[in-house]
Structure 1
Amino acid sequence: MRTLFTLCLFLISGADRAWATGNLTVDSTTDTSWRNVTGYITIGDGLSQEFEFPENTEGVIVISSRYRGSANSWKETVRVRSLDPEVLSILNVTDGGQAGPAGSFIISIRSGFPGTAPLQIQLLELDQELVPVLIEERTDYSIRVEPDEDNQATRLLQSGGLSHFTENPVLFALLPLIFVNKCAFGCKVEVEVLRGLLRSPVPLLLGVLAQFLVMPLYAYCVSRLLSMPKALSLGLVITCSAPGGGGGYLYSLLLGGDVTLAISMTLVSTVVATAAMPLSSAMYGRLLGVHAALHVPFVKIFGTLLFIAIPISLGMLIKLRLPALTRVLLVLIRPFSLVLMIGGIFMAYQMGASILANVQPQIVAVGVTVPLLGLLVGAMLGRIAGLALPQQKTVSIEVGVQNSLLALAVMQLSFRRMEADFASQAPFIVALSSTSEMLLIVLGYFVQRRLCGSIVLRSDA
Structure 2
Amino acid sequence: MSTQTPSPAPASTARASEDRSARIAVTIFPALILVAAAIGFFAPPVGQALAPFTSIYLGVIMFAMGLTLTLPDFALVVRRPLPVLIGVVAQYVIMPLIGLGVSLLLQLPPELAVGVILVGCAPGGTSSNVICYLAKADTALSVTMTSISTLLAPLFTPLLTLWIAGSYLPVDAGSMALSIVQMVLIPVIGGLVVRLIAGRLVDRVLPALPWVSVAGISLVVVSVVSGSTEAIVSAGAIVLLAVVLHNGLGYLLGYWGARLLRQGERAARTTSVEVGMQNSGLAATLAAASFSPAAALPAAIFSIWHNLSGAVLAMYYRRSADRHQVDPA
- The two structures have a TM-score, normalised by structure 2, of 0.68
1:259 maps to: 139
1:353 maps to: 225
- Give the distance between the partners of 1:166 and 1:253, measured in 2 at CA: 35
- Give the distance between the partners of 1:156 and 1:275, measured in 2 at CA: 36
- The one-letter amino acid of 2:281's match is L
- Greater strand share, structure number: 1
2:30 maps to: none
Say whether 1:291 aligns with 2:197.
Answer: no
Q: Is the 8 A contact 1:194 1:261 kept in 2?
A: no
For structure 1, which segment, 229-238 or 211-220, has the greater mean C-alpha deviation from structure 2 after superposition? 211-220
Question: Alpha carbons of 1:362 and 1:256: their partners in 2 closer, same or farther (altered >3 Å)?
Answer: same
Work out which of the residue numbers 302, 306, 310 in structure 2 matches 1:438: 310
Query: Tell me, which stretches of 5 or more residues in structure 2 are unaligned?
Result: 1-39, 324-329
- Give the distance between the partners of 1:398 and 1:389, measured in 2 at CA: 14
Q: Is the 8 A contact 1:194 1:260 kept in 2?
A: no
Q: Is the 8 A contact 1:236 1:426 kept in 2?
A: yes
Give the Å deviation of 1:242. Answer: 0.7
- Give the distance between the partners of 1:212 and 1:382, measured in 2 at CA: 14
Say whether 1:421 aligns with 2:307.
Answer: no
Q: Is the 8 A contact 2:155 2:177 kept in 1?
A: no
- 5 Å-filtered alignment, 1:16-165, equals 159=45, 161-162=47-48, 164-165=50-51
Q: Secondary structure at the match of 1:424?
A: helix
Give the Å deviation of 1:377. Answer: 1.7
- The one-letter amino acid of 1:353's match is V
1:206 maps to: 86
Give the Å deviation of 1:299. Answer: 4.1
Say whether 1:280 aligns with 2:160.
Answer: yes
2:120 maps to: 240
- Give the distance between the partners of 1:325 and 1:411, measured in 2 at CA: 32
- The two structures have a TM-score, normalised by structure 1, of 0.50
- The one-letter amino acid of 1:401's match is M
- Give the distance between the partners of 2:180 and 2:310, measured in 1 at CA: 25
1:118 maps to: none
2:249 maps to: 373
- The one-letter amino acid of 1:260's match is A
Question: Which structure ranks higher in relative contact order (CA pairs < 8 Å, sequence separation ≥ 6)?
Answer: 2
Give the Å deviation of 1:241. Answer: 0.7
Give the Å deviation of 1:336. Answer: 6.2
Question: Alpha carbons of 1:286 and 1:393: their partners in 2 closer, same or farther (altered >3 Å)?
Answer: same
Query: Tell me, which stretches of 5 or more residues in structure 1 are unaligned?
Result: 1-152, 453-461
- The one-letter amino acid of 1:164's match is L
- Give the distance between the partners of 2:106 and 2:224, measured in 1 at CA: 23
Query: How big is each residue's C-alpha offset from its partner over 1:253-283, in whole Å with a ceiling of 9 and x where there is no partner?
Result: 3322333322221222123222222222222
Question: Alpha carbons of 1:163 and 1:412: their partners in 2 closer, same or farther (altered >3 Å)?
Answer: farther
Question: Alpha carbons of 1:212 and 1:182: their partners in 2 closer, same or farther (altered >3 Å)?
Answer: closer
> What is the number of equivalent residue pairs in this alignment?
277
2:28 maps to: none
2:286 maps to: 410
- Give the distance between the partners of 2:53 and 2:154, measured in 1 at CA: 27
Question: Alpha carbons of 1:194 and 1:422: their partners in 2 closer, same or farther (altered >3 Å)?
Answer: closer
- Greater helix share, structure number: 2
Q: Secondary structure at the match of 2:176?
A: coil
Give the Å deviation of 1:297. Answer: 4.5
Question: Alpha carbons of 1:194 and 1:341: their partners in 2 closer, same or farther (altered >3 Å)?
Answer: closer
- Give the distance between the partners of 2:123 and 2:301, measured in 1 at CA: 17
Question: Alpha carbons of 1:401 and 1:435: their partners in 2 closer, same or farther (altered >3 Å)?
Answer: same
- The one-letter amino acid of 2:244's match is V
Q: Is the 8 A contact 1:355 1:424 kept in 2?
A: no
- Give the distance between the partners of 2:108 and 2:187, measured in 1 at CA: 35
Question: Alpha carbons of 1:371 and 1:422: their partners in 2 closer, same or farther (altered >3 Å)?
Answer: same
- Give the distance between the partners of 2:81 and 2:251, measured in 1 at CA: 20
Greater C-alpha Rg: 1
- The one-letter amino acid of 1:220's match is L
Give the Å deviation of 1:214. Answer: 1.9
Q: Is the 8 A contact 1:345 1:435 kept in 2?
A: no
- Give the distance between the partners of 2:316 and 2:213, measured in 1 at CA: 17
- The one-letter amino acid of 1:384's match is L
Q: Secondary structure at the match of 1:296?
A: helix
1:385 maps to: 261
1:305 maps to: 185
- Give the distance between the partners of 1:364 and 1:254, measured in 2 at CA: 25
- The one-letter amino acid of 1:161's match is G
- The one-letter amino acid of 2:117's match is V
CA RMSD of aligned residues (A): 3.9
Give the Å deviation of 1:428. Answer: 0.9
Question: Alpha carbons of 1:167 and 1:209: their partners in 2 closer, same or farther (altered >3 Å)?
Answer: closer
Query: How big is each residue's C-alpha offset from its partner over 1:36-79, in whole Å with a ceiling of 9 and x where there is no partner?
Result: xxxxxxxxxxxxxxxxxxxxxxxxxxxxxxxxxxxxxxxxxxxx
2:149 maps to: 269
- 5 Å-filtered alignment, 1:216-231, equals 216-231=96-111
